[in-house]
């Protein structure tokens, strides 16, 4: 595996010494936000994780290598290149490595590479899921299947609100993936701290979440855990306002014939435009909030596992 996997010195030392680690994706850098906000957000994510006692491990594919832990220069490169960097899910990993194609990792690809490196905790913005109208298009994110297979706990602000949240929960239930609400019984809807759907279990402390993670894997129960961490109240958007913006964006997307992996970047960009940047500010706030919780969980998991 050394032929393909390359950890930064900081991450390699953390793995060797058994220090708490938190994985971070890179699609949010190249496809999720405009430059320079994307780079500023990525560097702030790493700072927040360090301030809360863990080591950040931003993941990407660069020059055919699975990189776990990026330099500031590599993060800036991903941010400046933006959508020129290939959005990379699990399906694309082997091809990109073979062809030495630079790839920004989605949730599914980040989970896979994090697991290869032995990292158990991953903080992101929102996971992909079952898209609206999937009963006709079968458009279901690979993130859900990865959660079913890969032993990584994912902290997110629920599922992206552009999705069908009810069907996303049903899919996760079928795959045996527990959905944990951090201090909430309701699945947060990315920009909004509330939705019409309930999580499986509510847990109110990082310590208890860490205990659940350890118990799950001690029992040999394969697959991930989804930890739903609501966007902070002051940064949460009115549900009606964001729902209207989403519907407007989806209508325009369908008229333009945009499909597949291009749908999420288009919708997020369009919603930011419709809301005059409020959704982008909310997006950044929820990512920071997830990084803080991810670090706290990883610290506790390290304590009870050592």
State the catalytic residue, choosing from 25, 46, 193, 296: 25
Length of the chain: 306
Q: Identify whether 303 is a catalytic site residue.
A: no
SS3 207: helix
SS3 152: coil
**Spatial distance between the Cα atoms of 287 and 53, rounded to a whole number of angstroms:** 17
Is residue 108 within 8 A of residue 142, CB to CB? The reply is yes
DSSP 27-96: HHHHTSS-TTHHHHHHHHHHHHHHHTT-EEEEEEEETTEEEES--HHHHHHHHHHGGGSEEE-GGGHHHH
Structure tokens at 96: 């990109």
What count of other Cβ atoms lies within 10 Å of the Cβ of residue 3? 9
State the catalytic residue, choosing from 87, 120, 160, 270: 160
Nearest partner of 122 among 87, 147, 148, judged by Cα: 147
**Spatial distance between the Cα atoms of 100 and 96, rounded to a whole number of angstroms:** 6
Identify the residue whose tokens are 């989403």.
Answer: 246
Is residue 296 within 8 A of residue 290, CB to CB? The reply is no
Identify the residue whose tokens are 């596992």.
Answer: 305
Is residue 109 within 8 A of residue 92, CB to CB? The reply is yes
**Spatial distance between the Cα atoms of 221 and 33, rounded to a whole number of angstroms:** 35
Q: What is the DSSP letter of 153?
A: E
CB-hemisphere CA count at 13 Å for 199?
27
Q: Identify whether 40 is a catalytic site residue.
A: no
Cis peptide before 125 (omega within 30 of 0): no
As annotated, the active-site residues are: 25, 160
């Amino acid at each position: 595996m050394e032929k393909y996997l390359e950890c930064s010195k900081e991450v390699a030392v953390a793995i060797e010494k058994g220090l708490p680690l938190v994985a971070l994706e890179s699609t949010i850098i190249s496809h999720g936000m405009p430059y320079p906000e994307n780079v500023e957000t990525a560097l702030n994510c790493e700072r927040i994780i360090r301030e809360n006692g863990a080591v950040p491990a931003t993941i990407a594919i660069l020059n055919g290598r699975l990189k776990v832990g990026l330099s500031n220069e590599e993060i800036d490169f991903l941010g400046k290149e933006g959508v020129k960097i290939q959005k990379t899910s699990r399906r694309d990993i082997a091809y990109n490595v073979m062809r030495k194609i630079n790839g920004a990792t989605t949730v599914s690809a980040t989970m896979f590479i994090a697991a290869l490196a032995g990292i158990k905790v991953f903080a992101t913005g929102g996971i992909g899921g079952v898209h609206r109208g999937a009963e006709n298009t079968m458009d279901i994110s690979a993130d859900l299947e990865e959660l079913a297979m890969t032993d990584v706990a994912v902290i997110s602000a629920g599922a992206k609100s552009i999705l069908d949240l009810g069907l996303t929960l049903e899919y996760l239930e079928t795959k045996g993936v527990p959905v944990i609400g951090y201090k909430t019984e309701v699945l947060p809807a990315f920009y909004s701290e509330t939705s019409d759907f309930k999580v499986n279990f509510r847990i109110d402390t990082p310590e208890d979440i860490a205990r659940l993670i350890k118990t799950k894997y001690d029992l040999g129960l394969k697959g991930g855990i989804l930890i739903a961490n609501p966007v902070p109240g002051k940064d949460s958007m009115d549900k009606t306002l964001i729902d209207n913006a989403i519907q407007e964006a989806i209508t325009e997307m369908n008229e333009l014939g945009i499909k597949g992996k291009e749908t999420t970047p288009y919708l997020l960009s369009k919603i930011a435009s419709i809301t005059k940047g409020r959704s982008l500010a909310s997006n950044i706030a929820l990512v920071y909030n997830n990084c803080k919780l991810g670090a706290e969980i990883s610290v506790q998991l390290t304590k009870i596992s050592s």
